[in-house]
């Protein structure tokens, strides 16, 4: 495994930047609970994408073009897979009956927890791959399986078959949490805990946060191995993950109301996971026998961008055709 480009100073600087942005987010820009408008979400999404592109440019200029492309590829993979998170977040907020003005607070603390959990998973994954290279084949098989599963689930949804597995899992998590934490069905503003008759109780907001946090862990099991197919550098894997996560809240409020229009996006995501899984499985073979140095990062980025672009374009075309076919009046 090649030495990481992440020096201690870069790690400390990046983590400090993330903490400052989180403090500004809740302490300055979102001190008051309010419904996030599409315009506000679009502005913040553009800000986070812009910062991420600047970071990629910095990687390109101060490390190497290859590192810049690896970061950008990882970021695109993570950003696209995070849309699956948004589907689940919409369902969780609906089932828990969380008002729109409180959803940002839940996602804020969910992102903070996700940063810590993903940092642990990335460090552990990098260490495992550095010492046991054969694990990369297990990651590849897992990603292929996940891609096939996402496609089959999409076909069931298309045919009107909605599995109850996710709802059953949520119910199990809720029952498990309530066994250890006293709860109340009533909200108390934006508080995660309230006091009733001298007893400290968890509000539905805390239970929602638990569901959001655990759902992110599940999605991280897909996205983190996928980025390891691009690079084994922990700093690039971590930074591409965190930039995508930091922009997840604004993406949720931007795309949440129109998710049904991206009908074929899950098909694109399943193909992307299949591609990166196959890349993991044949990477060594390509490097040793077919292509010196292996599949280049720019080619991976181009393939992934093409797959996502086609799936999004086809989704928009399908949505437009569906709108025209609906009876008017």
Whether 137 is covered by a domain: the verdict is: yes
276-111-82 Cα angle (round to 5)? 30
The pLDDT value given to residue 240: 92
The phi and psi torsions of 203 (rounded to 5 degrees) equal -90, 170
Check if the beta carbon of residue 261 is closer than 8 Å to that of residue 66. no
Please tell me the distance from the alpha carbon of residue 57 to that of residue 185, in angstroms, as a whole number: 48
Q: How many domains does the chain have?
A: 1
Of residues 75 and 160, which shows the higher confidence score? 75
The Cα–Cα gap between 31 and 165 comes to 37
Can you give the residue range of the structural domain that contains 267?
Answer: 36-319
Residue 241 near residue 224, CB atoms below 8 Å: yes
Q: What is the pLDDT of residue 75?
A: 92
Is residue 229 within 8 Å of residue 139, measured between CB atoms? yes
Q: Report the pLDDT averaged over residues 24-30.
A: 69
Evaluate whether residue 5 is within a structural domain.
no
> Exposure string (b/e) for 283-315, b if CB count within 10 Å is 16 or more?
beeeeeeeeeebbebeebbebbeebbeebbebb
Tens digits of residue pLDDT in 240-283? 999 998 888 888 888 776 777 777 888 888 888 888 888 888 76
Among 225, 72, 256, 251, CA closest to 147: 225
Res 165: pLDDT: 46
The residue assigned the tokens 């799936």 is: 311
Q: What is the pLDDT of residue 324?
A: 65
In 3D space, the residue among 296, 327, 316, 247 whose CA is nearest the CA of residue 68 turns out to be: 296
Q: Estimate the crossing angle of helix 248-255 against helix 38-62, to 10 degrees.
A: 140
305 inside domain: yes
User: Cα dihedral angle (7, 10, 12, 18), rounded to 10 degrees?
Assistant: -150
Residue 12, in any domain of the structure: no
pLDDT tens for residues 42-66?
Answer: 898 899 999 999 999 999 998 889 8
**pLDDT on residue 287:** 61
| Cβ contact 78:229 at 8 Å | no
**What's the confidence (pLDDT) of residue 55?**
95
DSSP E strands: which ranges in the chain?
Answer: 193-196, 199-202
- Over pLDDT 70: what percentage of the chain? 84
Contact 234, 126 (CB under 8 A): yes
Q: How confident is the model at residue 286 (pLDDT cuts 50, 70, 90)?
A: low
Q: Tell me the Ramachandran region of residue 187: left when phi exceeds 0, alpha when psi lies from -120 to 50, beta otherwise.
A: beta
Kindly tell me if the per-residue pLDDT of 123 is higher than 80.
yes
pLDDT of residue 51: 93
Range with the poorest average pLDDT among 7-16, 235-244, 318-327 = 318-327
DSSP state of 35: P
Question: What is the maximal distance between C-alpha atoms in the chain?
Answer: 72
Which band of pLDDT confidence, cut at 50, 70 and 90, is reported for residue 284?
Answer: low
Q: Residue 12 and residue 66: Cα distance in Å, rounded?
A: 23
pLDDT per residue as tens digits for the range 303-321: 888 988 898 888 888 777 7
CB 70 within 8 A of CB 233: yes
Tell me if 18 is assigned to some domain. no
For residue 185, name the pLDDT band (cuts at 50, 70, 90).
confident
Q: Is residue 327 part of a domain?
A: no
In a domain, 21, yes or no: no
Per-residue model confidence (pLDDT) at position 325: 63
Q: Is residue 326 part of a domain?
A: no
pLDDT digits (tens, 9 = 90+) for 193-245: 888 888 888 888 888 888 888 878 877 877 788 888 888 888 999 999 999 98
């Amino acid at each position: 495994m090649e030495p990481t480009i992440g020096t201690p100073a870069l790690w400390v600087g990046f983590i400090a930047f993330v903490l400052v942005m989180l403090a500004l987010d809740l302490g300055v820009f979102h001190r008051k609970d309010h419904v996030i408008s599409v315009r506000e979400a679009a502005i913040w999404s553009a800000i986070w994408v812009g910062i991420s592109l600047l970071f990629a440019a910095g990687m390109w200029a101060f490390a190497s073009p290859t590192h810049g492309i690896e970061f950008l590829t990882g970021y695109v993979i993570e950003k696209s897979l995070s849309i699956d998170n948004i589907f689940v977040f919409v369902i969780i907020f609906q089932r828990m009956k969380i008002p729109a003005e409180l959803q940002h607070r839940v996602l804020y603390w969910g992102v903070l927890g996700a940063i810590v959990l993903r940092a642990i998973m990335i460090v552990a994954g990098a260490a495992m791959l550095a010492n046991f290279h054969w694990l990369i084949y297990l990651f590849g098989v897992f990603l292929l399986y996940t891609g096939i599963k996402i496609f089959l689930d999409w076909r069931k949804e298309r045919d009107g078959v909605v599995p109850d597995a996710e709802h059953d899992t949520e119910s199990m998590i809720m029952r498990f949490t309530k066994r250890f934490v006293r709860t109340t069905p009533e909200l108390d503003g934006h508080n995660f805990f309230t006091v009733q008759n001298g007893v400290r109780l968890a509000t539905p907001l805390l239970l929602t946060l638990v569901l959001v946090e655990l759902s992110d862990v599940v999605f991280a099991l897909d996205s983190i191995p996928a980025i390891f197919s691009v690079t084994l550098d922990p700093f690039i894997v971590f930074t591409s993950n965190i930039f995508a996560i930091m922009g997840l809240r604004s993406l949720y409020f931007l795309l949440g109301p129109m998710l049904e229009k991206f009908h074929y996006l899950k098909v694109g995501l399943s193909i992307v996971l299949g591609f990166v899984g196959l890349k993991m499985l044949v990477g060594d073979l390509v490097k040793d026998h077919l292509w010196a140095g292996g599949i280049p990062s720019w080619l991976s980025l181009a393939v992934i961008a093409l797959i996502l672009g086609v799936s999004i374009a086809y989704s928009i075309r399908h949505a437009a055709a569906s709108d025209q076919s609906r009876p008017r009046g």
